[in-house]
A and B are shown apart, each in its own frame.
Chain A
Amino acid sequence: MMPVPKTHRNRILAIAIAVAVVIAIVLVAVSYLTRDGADETTPVVTTDTVATETVAPDTSTAVALVAGIPQKGTVLGKAGTTVRLLQFEDFQCPVCKRYTDDALPALINEYVKPGLVRIDFRGLTFLGPDSEKALRIALAAGLQNRLWEVVGLFYENQGTENSGWVTDALIDRILGEVPGLDAAKVKVDAKSPAVTKQIAATQAEATALNVQGTPWFYVGVGFRPPYSISPLPLEPSAFRPALDGALKG
């Protein structure tokens, strides 16, 4: 092929670069301007999330509380949120139930729903066999991004410690209350090595972070390692200073 004259080539190059840069800038502008578009125009529908803004009248409080909020695994809240609240808990811990009843709804409404904070569930099993049985079901539901409904429902039905209250009938009832959940798959996944590994990883994380009981809370901001907070009493007002502070950076 005949070489193109240099001046002509330079002109083509300048035009091509200008076009490429303009296209890149347009892509940047579109990306930036549409970053929240999906959240504004659709009822929080993602490929792997429960996405029902409309809650059936007979839906339990636990299910209604998290309806329409994106979930992924153990995380409740919009991805890309830089502040996260890690909560270590045990399904048999009465104080965890009190926190779930008294503080969590306000935290979800004030911080998670507006996309300010993500809450990350960390389940421990130190109280006994019922803790582990419930946790396995919750984590298996997390594989379908429905963990938070199950967490709330277990606390709603919390029984006496290690009395065998996490019965198969209770599990069936709880799983039946979660919209869009494949209950049969949850029961299979609950016994899977993946769930066992997740439980062990959380235990190791709790040891590394020096978790001293449940519920135990940490706040993580961006890349920085999470730091422990001690919100007492377990009411929304005790969490607000830590979360507001984290949001300010």
Chain B
Amino acid sequence: MLKKSLLFWLILSPLVVVILFPFGVMFVTAFRPREELFTYPPTWTFSEFRWANFAEMWVKTNFGRALLNSLYVSVLSTVLAMILSIPAAYALSRYRFPGKRAYRTFLLMTQMMSPIVLVLGLFRMMVTLGLVNTLNSLVLTYAAFNMAFTIWMLQSYFSTIPRDLEEAAWIDGAGHLTSLLRVFLPLAVPAMAVTAIFGFINSWNEFVLALTMIRSSDGFTLPVQIYSQVAGRYQIEWHHVMAATMLATLPVAIVFSWLQRFLIRGMALGAVK
């Protein structure tokens, strides 16, 4: 076991190093005093932990506001996508109906359009709907773009839940709805949670649509807010950029590492079909 562990870590080590490298860069740049950004040759060490970088950045980049915006958009779009996906996935896994294959094909096709390609049309539509510059425009679009994936995941998972259980409850005299709520739902909750995490991460990191739809900086989500610190300015304050990136990444990374075992378990149970 020990030998195997060492061997595995040895094989994985190059990848581990490459993965951790950008995080290391982020870390040392974020804490560095500004005067030490451009020493030559560049070094991993620096004279002191400049915590003030974070405080300055928080104020300068309006970080708190962007954080709330990101949370609002990611949570609501995930909830919306789930509300719409669960019945659709249930229908796909339990019923035979006309146009089922066409519907599946349509879902796959919706994945093929990059948001960048559609940005102009989407914008025109949001103008018609009066939703430009509202976070709700992002909620709708993220939900729509995530739905294909969430439906697919939920459906493959639902198919693994034995139908006999529902039937049994049904025969016992429970109504269809009751059997759904009592028998099916509790079994499906883990899968829903896993699927929701996928949706959440996609929304949390999305950039192009947020950049286009949100016009005032009060509505910026985190990726846009951070990007605006880098893009085309006469001056880039790298220590602030990296501090912001770190703060935006850390919570997700922590939650993620805690949840990843559920992710994999969900995938396994979902036994992709």
Whether chains A and B associate is: no
> Interface of B with A (CB < 8 Å)?
none
